[in-house]
Amino acid sequence: MFDKFIMHEQGWLSGDTTESSIVFSSRVRIARNLKGHLFPEKSRVQGKCKVLDNVEKVFSDVPAFSGMSFLKMDEVPDIDKLFLVERHLISREHSGDCIGKGLILADNETVSIMINEEDHLRMQLISPGFQLKNSWTKLSGIDDELGEKLDFAFSQELGYITSCPTNVGTALRASCMLHLPGLVLTKRITKILEFLAKISFITRGLFGEGTHALGDFFQISNQVTLGVTESEVIDNLESIVRQIYAQEIQARNILMKRDNINVSDNAWRALGILRYSRLITTKEALGCLSMLSLGIDLGIIKDVDFPGCQDIRRLVNNLFVLIQPAHLQKIEDRTLKENERDFIRADLLRKALN
Amino acid sequence: MFDKFIMHEQGWLSGDTTESSIVFSSRVRIARNLKGHLFPEKSRVQGKCKVLDNVEKVFSDVPAFSGMSFLKMDEVPDIDKLFLVERHLISREHSGDCIGKGLILADNETVSIMINEEDHLRMQLISPGFQLKNSWTKLSGIDDELGEKLDFAFSQELGYITSCPTNVGTALRASCMLHLPGLVLTKRITKILEFLAKISFITRGLFGEGTHALGDFFQISNQVTLGVTESEVIDNLESIVRQIYAQEIQARNILMKRDNINVSDNAWRALGILRYSRLITTKEALGCLSMLSLGIDLGIIKDVDFPGCQDIRRLVNNLFVLIQPAHLQKIEDRTLKENERDFIRADLLRKALN
């Protein structure tokens, strides 16, 4: 499954400027539930299947869904589920206990709708680079069309009703995936993360809750959904991301002034390791790609031949995703042991960057 | 001083087979003292100058010394002294308190004679690869010629009289510089070093007493000088080195069978770092050169272009010496701070190996 996905870059990965190498992607997500049905985690299999049926029935009548696929999760092979997790199209939770769970997915992977995850509907839209407003407008359009066919649980007083109270209200979570090697190298990141927590923003790593900041990636999202409008949620996050972006640029300038030679050494070594290693873990590869990406942005890595690659910026962004375990297993079309993955990952990176 | 030395490879570095990449060099050294003069460390400056004069007077009458230079150590600039240490032509001790100290040196650096180090004369001969017997024959010839001009302190009962009792007798120390990455990687080296200590052989690192095994180099020499003939000293060491050589080959075979992919990863990464880093310490550079050397011997590093280099084996052997601090300072012709050295070392390695 998803074989056509594997070798093309994801729709939201097509950014190719320095801005999009710092603000990697923008994501908006809303939760919706159907009136008169128990929340998925309170519901038995039968109840979930009923909800799934209801969504499937209206699927082809929603214009926004044209060109998208409707999938039942229990029909998706395990390796493909992990693949969907790595591509940020479903949550890790959505890949287990699959009976009654579903997925609506756009071919270019910008839109995915989980059915019967924590809520009946979790609708997300990812865009490349820094496009929060635009993303929200698009997702809001899909929400409106679907709302005409399904009866969403809504309270005049509270707003949208959700399974977890932290989502009640707008039920909107917006996030940006930021690549912040400058703030990590200058060690300024700690204070920024503390500040974000204080003003109720959530920070996560590349792979969601509880994951470390692999490859210097940080996903920043709003915590508050109640007592604010959708526009406020988007505007607040946009303003915060703009500030962090400015801080990252400043950190990079400081690095170039005060620590030019060390940054240059890090960036070039990263390219050396990516081009020469025969075994490399996901963690080390992400770290090296992060330094390579920084080196390209700062003009350190230049006058280098990357034959067969027209746009090194896009290639690097794409490699961040491709080197992950399930992607490698999709490429090889079999289950791989850890050591095999490290070997195939090194091989893929070497060929891509030589 | 010694500017003509800096960019040509040392005479004893010209080995270019796998054998000479394991047995890097062979060295013989004898201690001699002049009858009727105090040992250097018991002697005042005047006494040492007298000995130095005596040697200088006969210098041009010894046929073996033709084409060699006679130097007074107090006339050698500090940077050149360190340079001589790095090239194993004098000891670190011989580079301090220089009044009354001297050096006789062959242009191709195979022969060096320290005057008024621990003994009046410390005569050494270094040859590339595994050439203990041949080296001893040559040094013995020089000793015979010099003995005709100077009156050496000798006891019928004990043999040659030396400043330190551990040298009395033959006053001969023979050693081989071994490159043993296979035994290091398989962790067999510890047992071998223990065994060598038990049978009274001395093991040192690349830079003499007390230095660690940088770059997986081990200098092995005889401890016993009394109660044995010169031939026995040479034969015993030769036999021990042959055994260690066989163990190293066996270790490499085991690595290739059991751990091929890790060794290959280490070797290729080493080349990547040497070709890409912008800052590199002596220690890391020696480690990388060691792995690169192993990779070449094992046929792992192949089908690689080294433009401008006809013999990669010899180039690597030469780089082991060239990357050392005083060498870099000779090349740059000025004193360098540590960070500057790391930068220039990386630059030299990158240019040599690209």
| Chain A interface, best mutation among B279, B340, B351, B353, by max A CB count within 10 A | B279
Please tell me the predicted confidence (pLDDT) of residue B63: 94
Best of A261, A288, A343 to disrupt the B interface (most B CBs within 10 Å) is A261
A262 contact residues in B (CB cutoff 8 A) = 279
Q: Do A273 and B272 touch (CB under 8 A)?
A: yes
Which of B127, B196, B181 is closest to B297 using CA atoms?
A: B181
CA distance A292 to chain B (A): 12
Q: Show residues of chain A in contact with B273, CB under 8 Å.
A: 269, 272-273, 276
- Across the interface, whether the CB atoms of A273 and B273 are under 8 A apart is answered yes
Query: Per residue in A225-258, pLDDT tens?
Result: 788 899 999 999 999 999 999 999 999 999 999 9
Set of chain B residues whose Cβ sits within 8 Å of the Cβ of A264: 278
Q: Which chain B residue shows the shortest CA-CA distance from A275? A: B272
**% pLDDT > 70, chain B:** 93
Separation in Å, CA of B120 to nearest CA in chain A: 48
- Residue A57: what residue type? K
Nearest residue of chain B to residue A261 (CA atoms): B278
The gap from C-alpha B189 to its chain's centroid, in whole angstroms, comes to 20
The pTM for the full model equals 0.84
The pLDDT, as a whole number, for residue B95 is: 94
Assess B276–A contact: CB distance below 8 Å, yes or no: yes
Q: Name the residue ranges covered by the structural domains of chain B.
A: 3-253, 260-353
pLDDT value of residue B228: 87
pLDDT value at residue A13: 47
**B343 at interface of A, judged by CB pairs closer than 8 A:** yes
Are residues A272 and B272, on separate chains, in Cβ contact within 8 Å? yes
A354/B contact by beta carbon, under 8 A: no
Which one, of A27, A29, A33, A31, lies nearest residue A12 by Cα? A27
Cβ-Cβ contacts under 8 Å, B263 against chain A: none
Kindly state the percentage of chain A with pLDDT values over 90.
67
By DSSP bridging, strand B111-115 and strand B102-106 are antiparallel
CB contact under 8 A, B265 and A277: yes
Which residue type is seen at B6? I
Cβ neighbours of A344 in B, within 8 Å: none
Chain A residues whose CB is inside 8 A of the B277 CB are 265, 268-269, 272
Smallest CA–CA distance from A266 into chain B, residue: B277
**Contact (CB<8Å) B273/A275:** no
Rg (CA), chain B: 21
Angle B292-B185-A340 (CA atoms, 0-180°, nearest 5)? 80
Q: Please give the Cα distance from B350 to A271 (Å, whole number).
A: 14
Burial class (CB in 10 A: 0-12, 13-18, 19+), B175: buried
The answer, for B269 touching chain A at a CB cutoff of 8 Å, is yes
Picking from A269, A275, A278, the nearest residue to B265 by CB comes out as A278
Cβ–Cβ pairs < 8 A, chains A and B: 52
User: What is the assigned CATH class of domain A3-253?
Assistant: alpha beta
B262 close contact with A: CB closer than 8 A: yes
What is the distance in angstroms between the CA of the first residue and the CA of the last residue of chain B? 30
Which residues lie closer than 8 Å to A149 by C-beta, 6 or more apart?
A58, A61, A62
pLDDT at residue B128 in the model: 86
With CB atoms and an 8 Å threshold, state whether A268 touches B276: yes
Nearest to B271 among A264, A269, A276 (CB): A276
Strand partners, B219: B177, B204
Please name the member of B264, B269, B279 whose beta carbon is closest to the beta carbon of A262.
Answer: B279
The residue of chain B with its CA nearest to that of A344 is B261
In order along its 354 residues, chain A shows pLDDT tens digits of 656 555 555 544 444 456 778 998 999 999 999 999 999 989 999 999 999 999 999 999 999 999 899 999 999 998 889 889 888 899 999 999 999 999 999 988 899 999 999 999 999 999 888 999 999 999 999 999 999 999 999 999 999 999 998 888 999 999 999 999 999 999 999 999 999 999 889 888 766 555 567 889 999 998 887 888 999 999 999 999 999 999 999 999 999 999 999 999 999 999 999 999 999 999 999 999 999 999 999 999 988 888 877 788 888 988 988 898 878 888 888 888 888 999 999 999 999 998
Structure tokens at B232: 């026995």
Contact B33, B120 (CB under 8 A): yes
CB of B346 less than 8 A from some CB of A:
yes
- What distance in Å separates the CA atoms of residue B162 and residue A6, rounded to the nearest whole number? 76
CB contact under 8 A, B277 and A268: yes
B43 φ, ψ (degrees, to nearest 5)? -100, 150
Q: Which residues of A133-154 are buried (b: 16+ CB within 10 A; e: fewer)?
A: eebbebbeebbeebeeebebbe
Phi, psi of A222, rounded to the nearest 5 degrees: -75, 150
Q: What is the rounded distance in angstroms from the CA atom of residue B313 to the CA atom of residue A161?
A: 72
Task: Quick: pLDDT tens for B31-77.
Answer: 999 999 999 989 999 999 999 999 999 999 999 999 899 999 999 99
A155 touching B, CB under 8 A? no
Q: Does A92 touch chain B (CB under 8 A)?
A: no
Which residues are within 8 A (CB) of B182 and not within 5 positions of it... i.e. 6 or more apart? B248, B249, B250, B251, B252, B254, B255, B294
pLDDT at A12: 45
Predicted complex ipTM: 0.81
Q: How far apart are the CA of A320 and the nearest CA of chain B, in angstroms?
A: 20
What residues of chain A lie within 8 A of the CB of B269, using their CB? Answer: 272-273, 276-278
CB contacts of A300 in chain B (<8 Å) are none
A277 → chain B, closest CA residue: B269
pLDDT tens-digit series, residues B155-169: 999 999 999 988 889
DSSP helix/strand/coil, B205: strand
Q: Is there a contact between A253 and A284 (Cβ–Cβ < 8 Å)?
A: no
Per-residue pLDDT reduced to its tens digit, B232-245: 999 999 999 999 99
Out of B272, B279, B339, name the one closest to residue A275 (CB).
Answer: B272
| DSSP string for residues in A140-156 | HHHHHHHHHHS-B-EET
> Look-up: residue for tokens 């620590």?
A259
Give the gap in angstroms from C-alpha B261 to the nearest C-alpha of chain A. 7
- Tell if the CB–CB gap between A265 and B278 is shorter than 8 Å: yes
Q: Which residues of B186-215 are buried (b: 16+ CB within 10 A; e: fewer)?
A: bebbeebbeebeeeebebbbbbeeeeebbb
pLDDT one digit per residue (tens) for chain B, 354 residues: 656 555 555 544 444 456 778 998 999 999 999 999 999 989 999 999 999 999 999 999 999 999 899 999 999 998 889 889 888 899 999 999 999 999 999 988 899 999 999 999 999 999 888 999 999 999 999 999 999 999 999 999 999 999 998 888 999 999 999 999 999 999 999 999 999 999 989 888 766 555 567 889 999 998 887 888 999 999 999 999 999 999 999 999 999 999 999 999 999 999 999 999 999 999 999 999 999 999 999 999 988 888 877 788 888 988 988 898 888 888 888 888 888 999 999 999 999 998
For residue range B135-149, list pLDDT tens digits in order. 999 999 999 999 999
**CB–CB contact A261 B343 (8 Å):** yes
Is B261 in contact with A339 (Cβ distance < 8 A)? yes
- Residue B21: predicted pLDDT: 80
Q: SS3 for B152?
A: strand
Query: Burial of B63 by CB count in 10 Å (0-12 exposed, 13-18 middle, 19+ buried)?
Result: exposed
CA dist B225 → B30, B118, B152 (Å): 10, 16, 17
Best of A259, A266, A279 to disrupt the B interface (most B CBs within 10 Å) is A279
| Closest Cα in chain B to A279 | B265
List the structure tokens of A238.
């946009």
Helix H or strand E segment including A75: none
Could A278 and B261 be called an inter-chain contact, meaning their C-beta atoms sit closer than 8 Å? yes
CA distances in angstroms from A201 to A28, A36, A49, A176, listed in the order given = 15, 33, 35, 11
Q: φ and ψ at B37, to 5 degrees?
A: -125, 145
Yes or no, beta carbons of B269 and A277 under 8 Å apart: yes
